[in-house]
Amino acid sequence: MKRTKVLAFFVLIIAALIYLIPGCDELVTEVTEKTQTQWVRADFSLIDTFQAYGCAPYTVWFNENCGGNPNWFHWSFGDGNDTTIYIIDSITTDRDTIFNDSIFGDIEHTYSTSGLFSVTLIAKNTENENVDSEEKWHYITVGPLSADFITDISTGCPGLSVTFTPIETEGIAKWEWDFGDGSDTIFRDSTPESISHIYLTADTFQVTLTDSGDCGTTSESNTITIVDCLDPVCSLSVHEGCATLSVEFKDMTYPTAAFRFWSFGNGDTSTLEDPTIEFKTAGTYEIALGVSEFEDGPFAYVYDTVVVYDSVSALFTVVGNSTSCYLPGRQFHVRFLDQSKGNIQNLIWDFGDGDTLYNDTNPIHAYTTPGKYSVSLIAAGLCGEDTIIDTLIDTALVVLSDTLYEETSGFKISPSDTVSDIATEFTFTDTSIGVIEGRKWTLNSHVVNDSTEINYTFPDTGSYEVLLEINNGCNTIEVSRTVVIDTTSAE
């Protein structure tokens, strides 16, 4: 009882506020109107008992599934017939609770002719002018459909292959092809695919496709025209060679063609009788010459090929290590990989140790003696009828280092290790024996790298240590000597 009184009290308070506060009643009205206003969404489907395919005359029932309480519906059925439905005061009706939405804009329509029909529904709320539309392309199919088909080509020379493709498949159970040249009729009783036929003689042929299905039988025909064509003949000045290759082409068709078309496989074309074309990159190019007595064809074609090679270029690399330390009794195996370019016919390897090898693109050679070896590759290849030779020599490519020893390491000093003239320029020359990969000279805090011989003048009298450090990747040896500059000895 108390709860009821409290609720009644709050209702009175709210009513008083609406009455006393200016504009409050308009606010409540506006909120109410906005609550009723909804965005219209057009949508439709077929009622479950109806299919999208049938035979003429075919009646279907469309079910509108719109949202947003529209009260105006315009149907376009795709066959030239339209219908408009207008429902008065539907906006103030709660359709979702009182009626099923489908009652308001649903409609029945009968298609009297065959074809593919696109259906459009425009739905509108006439109070707030909110509108939306929905189109379903080729939504309804009414048979029997036309037996239309397409051809990839309709004119040509004897021996022409023509591909035929049916357009319609809905409701059709059998396709019957008559190619019009007396050949056997072809039947298909499954989903049709393209079918090809070759016409061997010159004539005009009527091709007919007959479709049979649920709604009956229909036929359509197209014409194929075969005419006697010229017999094209072409000649090429050269068929292969190295880039850039210039080729002269000649149309030798007899009698002379009134119209011709050259295609050279590299994007270039020509209508000249005897064009000259340059092929700048390596590749295989298909050449086509088409000739005809008529500008619009048909054209008869002859084909040839031009092969262009890269210019011969010798090139190789080492796979893996090319340096190693010598171990008595063991071999150092080095693998080489030919990367020469062009139409290579012969390869000659020289491994720098007196051994040679022919025509191996991936040789492995064994080195047994310490040393530095220059490896060379000679590549010989053809550019058409010409032989091109290219040679690549890689100096000190392979290094097999022996162990360095102090006894065989050192350097000489010129003019002497003891002098009295402070202006003397000394020459230091490495005399070490063995395969040496690196040198480092240190004298009076002055450092020089990778020189077999150096010149140096010391700034003052005194004793100076000269240090030579040599290495070959296997071990390092340091050798030192002393230079003395004593001017008193000259007195």
Q: What percentage of the chain has pLDDT greater than the value 70?
A: 87
Q: Is the Cβ–Cβ distance between 377 and 385 less than 8 Å? A: no
pLDDT of the residue at 33:
44
Q: What is the pTM of this model?
A: 0.47
What are the angstrom distances between the C-alpha of 12 and each of 6, 16, 22, 29? 10, 6, 17, 18
Nearest Cα to Cα of residue 317 among 397, 400, 401, 437: 397
For residue 31, what pLDDT band results from cuts at 50, 70 and 90? very low
pLDDT of the residue at 208:
96
Domains of the chain: 2-34 (no CATH), 44-143 (2.60.40.10), 149-226 (2.60.40.10), 234-309 (2.60.40.10), 316-401 (2.60.40.10), 406-490 (2.60.40.10)
Q: Tens digits of per-residue pLDDT, 227-248? A: 888 999 999 999 998 899 999 9
pLDDT of the residue at 133:
96
Segment 48-72 shows an average pLDDT of: 90
pLDDT of the residue at 84:
92
437/308 Cα distance (integer angstroms): 45
pLDDT of the residue at 473:
83
First to last CA, the chain: 140
| Mean pLDDT estimate for the chain | 86
Q: Is the Cβ–Cβ distance between 308 and 281 less than 8 Å? A: yes
Q: Is the Cβ–Cβ distance between 107 and 85 less than 8 Å? A: yes
For residue 32, what pLDDT band results from cuts at 50, 70 and 90? very low
Q: Is the Cβ–Cβ distance between 479 and 466 less than 8 Å? A: no
Q: Tens digits of per-residue pLDDT, 278-290? A: 999 999 999 999 9
Residue 489: strand, helix, or coil:
helix
Report residue 96 as tokens: 């979702």
Neighbours of 67 (CB within 10 A): 16
Q: Is the Cβ–Cβ distance between 125 and 69 less than 8 Å? A: yes
